[in-house]
Amino acid sequence: MAGSDRRQFLLLALGVAVGGGAGVLARRAGIETSAPGRPRPPGAGAQGDFLAACIRCGQCVEACPWSTLHLTGLGDGVGAGTPTFDARRVPCWLCEGYDAPLCIEACPTHALRPLADLREARMGTAVLDEATCLAFLGTVCRACWHACPYPNEAIVFDEMLRPVVVPEVCIGCGLCEHACPTEGASAIVIRPHEAS
């Protein structure tokens, strides 16, 4: 919220109070609706559109069979009350075994839009920290590659068989972040898509 002035503050306060409408207001007012620090459920699409369409009903959270999703708190400002997940804790298992992600089916406003293919589920993008990744530290490890639903596509190997993320293919499910065997924080973390 750096540089936010009094008018923005008021709008944000309003946003928290009235939910989804604030997203629309915020966009109209040209306010940067910064993404929460966490990824979105599948089908959320562009950040601004999602914030506008999401009515903070929490039905996606209810529907999630893995308890992956939760709603953001007040600290998220204009995004407060919208769904997100912490992949280190529980990643998005892509509703394995179901025909389509249950959160999308549960969404009453199509804020989470039905997907023709799970590959369109752009929840975020995995970012690998070479400073903490075991493979880049000289330990042979491939846990993220193995966890990835699109191995050899979204996570590939460089010539030393170290993992490399292909952002164009990565859907941001966070299975890699969850699987990474570093202690504490993962060396590969899902970053939300930039606001559009």
Partner 1 sequence: MPTSPSPTRRDFIRAAAAAGVAVAAGGPLAALASEPTKGASPVTWVKSVCRFCGTGCGVILGVTDGRLVALRGDPEHPTTKGLVCAKALFLPKIVRSKNRLKKPMVRKDGRLVPIGWDEAMDLVADRFASAIQEHGPNSVAYYGSGQAMSEESYLANRLFKGGIGTNNVEGNPRLCMASAVGGYVSTFGKDEPMGSYDDIDHAKTFFLVGSNTAECHPVIFSRILSARAKGEDVKVIVLDPRKSPVIGVADLHLDPIPGYDLTVLHAMAYVLLKEGKHDKAFIEKNVQFKAVKDGKPVGVSFDDYLAFLEEHHTPEKAEAVSGVPAAKIREAAMLFAQGPTTSFWTMGLNQRTRGVWANNLMHNLHLITANIGKPGATPFSLTGQPNACGGVRDTGTLCHILPYGRVVKKEAHRQQIEKLWGSKPGTIQPKPGLDTIEMFKALGRDEVKAMLVLTTNPAHTLPNSTPYKDAIGKARPDKPFVVVLDAYPTLTTEIADLVLPAAMWSEKSGVFGMSERRYQFHPKVQEPPGEARSDFDVLLDFAGRLEERGVVPKGYIGGKFETTDDIWDEMRLASKDTPYDFMGQTRERLHRERGIRWPTPTVDHPGTARRFVKGEDPLLDAGPWADDTLKPGETSFYAAPGKKAIVWLRPALPPAEPTDEEYPYVFSTGRVLEHWHSGTMTMQAPELKRAYPGCFAEVHPTDAKELGVKTGDKLKITSRRGEIVVRARVVEIPRPGMVFAPMHWADELSQVNKVTIDAYDPGSKQPEFKICAVKLAKA
C-alpha pair distances (Å), 170 with each of 153, 177, 183: 8, 12, 24
Interface positions, 113-142, toward partner 1 (CB under 8 A):
132, 134, 136-142
Which among 10-18, 38-46, 56-64, 154-162 is the span making contact with partner 1, rule CB under 8 A?
Answer: 154-162
Q: How far is CA 183 from the centre of its chain?
A: 22
Which among 5-13, 62-70, 74-82, 177-185 is the span making contact with partner 1, rule CB under 8 A?
Answer: 177-185
Residue from 145, 174, 189, 192 touching partner 1 (CB under 8 A): that is: 145
Strands 125-128 and 83-85 turn out to be unpaired
DSSP category for residue 151: B
Q: Is 164 in the site for partner 1 (CB under 8 A)?
A: yes
Give the whole-angstrom CA distance, residue 176 versus residue 51: 26
Q: Is 16 in the site for partner 1 (CB under 8 A)?
A: no
Q: Is 143 in the site for partner 1 (CB under 8 A)?
A: yes
Q: Is 175 in the site for partner 1 (CB under 8 A)?
A: no
95, 107, 90, 97: which is closest to 45 by C-alpha?
107
Residue from 149, 172, 174, 192 touching partner 1 (CB under 8 A): that is: 149
- Minimum distance, C-beta of residue 54 to partner 1, in the bound complex (Å): 26
N-terminal to C-terminal alpha carbon distance within the chain:
17
Q: Is 67 in the site for partner 1 (CB under 8 A)?
A: no
Give the whole-angstrom CA distance, residue 187 versus residue 150: 19
Contact 132, 138 (CB under 8 A): no
Q: Is 85 in the site for partner 1 (CB under 8 A)?
A: no
- Minimum distance, C-beta of residue 139 to partner 1, in the bound complex (Å): 5
Q: How many residues lie near partner 1 (CB under 8 A)?
A: 37
Q: At what angle do helices 20-28 and 6-18 cross, to 10 degrees?
A: 150
Q: Is 158 in the site for partner 1 (CB under 8 A)?
A: yes
Residue from 123, 187, 189, 190 touching partner 1 (CB under 8 A): that is: 187
